[in-house]
Amino acid sequence: MVSKKQSPQKHQGSGKVPIQKENWSHGDTKHASISCPRNAVNALWMSDHASYWENFLRKVVREVVEQKILGKAHLFQRKRVNEAGISGVKPLKLCFINKLPDTIFTRSNIIAEDETPLQIALIDVGSESVVSDGPLSSLKIEIYVLDGDFGSCGSEDWNEDEFNSNILRERDGKEPLLIGERIITLKNGVGCITKLAFSDNSRWQRSRRFRIGVRVLQPISNGEKIQEGRSEPFVVKDNRGEPYKKHYPPYLNDDIWRLKNIAKERKFHNQLSLHGIHKVKDLLRLYITNEPSLYEMFGNISRKSWLAITEHAKTCVIDDYKLYSYHSEELQIGLLFNSIYILVGVTFDWQNYYSPDTLPPKEKHLVEIVKQRAYRNVNNLKLIDDTKLNCLNLAACLKARQSDTPDQGLQHINISTAQGICNGIIFLLFHYLLYCIIHLLTCFVHINQQ
């Protein structure tokens, strides 16, 4: 039995309090006791995520740079083809700067995947740069709908007749495929599509997909040819399906059919509803507390579908900061759970809380016993009252658990230290972000100069 009078073993390693995490794993922090559960949980989360944010920013920068480099390679593939001896490559080309989403809904404004205006640029193939000045930088271009199979073989070499033969027209009795401004004017070599939508879905095409194509509206006075531009293929669905689209990421209060592979009012949705699983929060709570039971509720489900649903659910935004407690009188252990019942804190005296990952093996074992007991009795979990939290001593929000023997003592961390750590992390992140932006711009300049 572990009581508040017992002296713990030396806590080795460290642990993270998982309030909102995509991989649902634990990392390393200083072992700390918490006399203000919610604030301490948040403080631990903040102070432990410096490396997370650094890796995140590094990943973003790396992906953006790689995307731009790959984009350049894709845009100027025709140049390499010409060098290989194939004729017909034009010195200028229209290119899509950003990517369209994989699915677009009719009557909805066409925007890029990152929800910014779709942009098209006039590229000088020789210098691999945007034609940003001169008369060509302000050309008018026209937008078309192309067959999704156009260029599916990967070829970047087509002629004007091939482009024209892949332009799609509306079906009989239907309005034009594109509604809105089909003609735009380049500014400094770049044009934005801002008011354009599809009037029809793409199901009637053999490929069941469309592409967007662009070409210069009028011939150039000197007779110079400009290669037409072509987007990646995408699916267009009727707008009545938009209210049913999945959320990436989902939210706790989203209906469960917002998750992958759960269709509204279909088999999985109906079966889960019968068992009281209506929201993503409900699904996650049962997944945490009794995964086999949740699996059985789906009935005959493939492993692939199960993993797709649960992995999507685990990317959920945890925007509910309620905390729940469970107390074992027998073992004198209290547990603190977040809103989806992930264990985030342990107490032996209801005054000081500890990150569960930093407990010694003996205490971890006892905590696991109590946690499983709590999971079997989730109705006995008690919501922690905000007013009680506010009455807690904030000055002792983070405090080290003291051992009876000096050599087993832990570093004392008070709230001012925690705040200093958080402020330092924010300062470092800000400067690192500036460094990333400067480095990113340098990479782009270098790419354009090559």
Q: How many beta carbons lie within 10 A of that of residue 302, not counting itself? A: 10
Please state whether beta strands 183-185 and 190-193 pair in parallel, antiparallel, or not at all (unpaired).
unpaired
Instruction: Give the Cα separation of 57 and 50 in Å (integer).
Output: 11
**Facing residues of 382 across strands?**
325
Token look-up 């909102």 returns 20
What pTM was estimated for this model as a whole?
Answer: 0.47
CB 228 within 8 A of CB 94: yes
Digit-by-digit pLDDT tens for the chain (450 residues) are: 444 434 334 344 433 333 333 345 333 333 444 445 555 545 444 444 444 455 555 555 555 544 554 454 444 444 433 443 334 556 899 999 999 999 999 988 999 988 899 999 999 988 889 999 999 999 999 999 999 999 777 677 788 899 999 999 999 988 999 999 999 999 999 999 999 999 999 999 999 999 999 999 887 877 778 999 999 999 999 887 667 778 888 999 999 999 999 998 899 999 999 999 999 999 999 999 999 999 999 999 999 999 999 999 999 988 888 999 999 989 999 999 999 999 999 999 888 889 999 999 999 999 999 999 999 999 999 998 754 553 333 323 333 333 333 333 223 333 333 444 445 555 566 666 766 676 666 655 555 554
Beta bridge partners of 121: 95, 190
CA angle 394, 397, 403 (to 5 degrees): 135
Residues 52/23, Cβ–Cβ less than 8 Å: no
Q: How far is Cα 426 from Cα 53, in angstroms, rounded to an integer?
A: 10
**Dist. CA 337–CA 382, nearest whole Å:** 10
Tokens of 41: 């949980």
Q: How far apart are CA 148 and CA 303, in angstroms?
A: 32
Task: Find residue 237's DSSP bridge partners.
Answer: 105
